[in-house]
Chain A
Amino acid sequence: MKLLDILPRELVIPELRGGTKEQVLRELAEHLAGVHAEIDGNKLVEVLWERERLGSTAIGDGIAIPHGKLPAVRSVLAAFGRHRAGVDFQSLDGKPTHLFFLLVAPEDSVGQHLKALARVSRLLKEASFRTALVRGEDRDSLFEIIRAEDEKY
C-alpha cells in the first residue's frame, strides 16, 4: 500500500490552526468529512477523542497518528495536517506536536488499519522527511514531499 492511495491532495492541510488537542482533532475530522460525504464529522471527533482517552496518539518526535473506526467508511481514509507552531497533544516526549496523520478505518478492518499504520510509520521513521514536512511551504510542496517519499519504498 502507498500512502497516496488513501491520501488525496485536498486532504493535505498545510496550516492547522487549533490551539488545543480537541480543536485540532475537530479540524482534521471536518476536513475529512468535507471530502468524504459518508463521514459525520461530529461522530468522528467523538471516536477520535475516545481513542485519545486510552492514551495519546502523539508518539513523540512531533508526530501524532490519531485514528478510529467508523462503520460508515468502506476503506481506510487518511488526512495529513501540519501545525507550524505545534500543539500540546500530551506527547510521549512532552514536546509539541506538528505533524498529524489521521487514519479512519471501517469496522472490523484490523488488517487494513495495520497496513495503513505501517505505511505512515515507515515514512515517518525518516527524520529528513519529518523535518521537510515541518518546513514545507504550502499544500503543493507538502504533497510533493509526501509523494516523493512515498515512491521511495
Chain B
Amino acid sequence: MSGDSAAPQLQKTLEIRNRLGLHLRAAKCLVEALAPLSAEVTLSNGDKEANGRSILSLATLEAVAGTMVEVRATGPQAAEALDAVEKLFANRFGEPD
C-alpha cells in the first residue's frame, strides 16, 4: 500500500464573506490557525493555488468578498484543519463586516 493512497484528502468549497476579502491580516489569521495542526492545506481560486501555511502564498489568491475558494486538506489533522478554515471564513476572520 502506498503512503499516498493512505492519506485521504478532504475537500470543501467555502465562500469568502468578509468585505475586505482575503487580505494580509486575514491571511495571517489563517496561517496562525493552521500552525498547530498537522495537515497540508491548499486553497484555490480558479487557477490560482496557495499554501495555507504561507501568508504570501495566500495573498496571491486575490480572493475578494463572494469568492468561492476550494480548500483541500490532507494529513492526520485534515478534518480539524478544514474546520478551522471553515470557522474563520464563517466569522469573517473576526472582522465586523
On A, residues with C-beta under 8 Å from B are: 54-55, 57, 59-61, 63, 65, 67, 92, 110-111, 113-115, 117-118, 120-122, 124-125
Name the interface residues of B42-59: CB closer than 8 Å to any CB of A. 54-57, 59
A59 touches B62 (CB 8 A): no
B28 touches A92 (CB 8 A): yes
Nearest-CB residue, chain B, relative to A51: B25
**Interface extent on B, as a size class?**
10 to 19
Task: Identify A121's interface contact among B21, B28, B56, B63, CB under 8 A.
Answer: B56
B28 touches A115 (CB 8 A): no
The DSSP consensus for interface residues of chain B is loop
When distances are taken between beta carbons in the complex, the residues of chain A under 8 Å from B56 are 59, 61, 63, 121, 124-125
Total A-B contacts with CB atoms under 8 angstroms apart: 51
Nearest-CB residue, chain A, relative to B67: A114
On B, residues with C-beta under 8 Å from A are: 19-25, 28, 54-57, 59-65
The 27 sampled A-B contact pairs (Cβ below 8 Å) are A54-B25, A55-B25, A59-B24, A59-B28, A59-B56, A60-B55, A61-B56, A63-B56, A67-B24, A110-B19, A110-B21, A110-B23, A110-B64, A110-B65, A111-B21, A111-B64, A114-B22, A114-B23, A114-B63, A114-B64, A117-B59, A118-B61, A118-B62, A120-B59, A121-B59, A124-B56, A125-B60
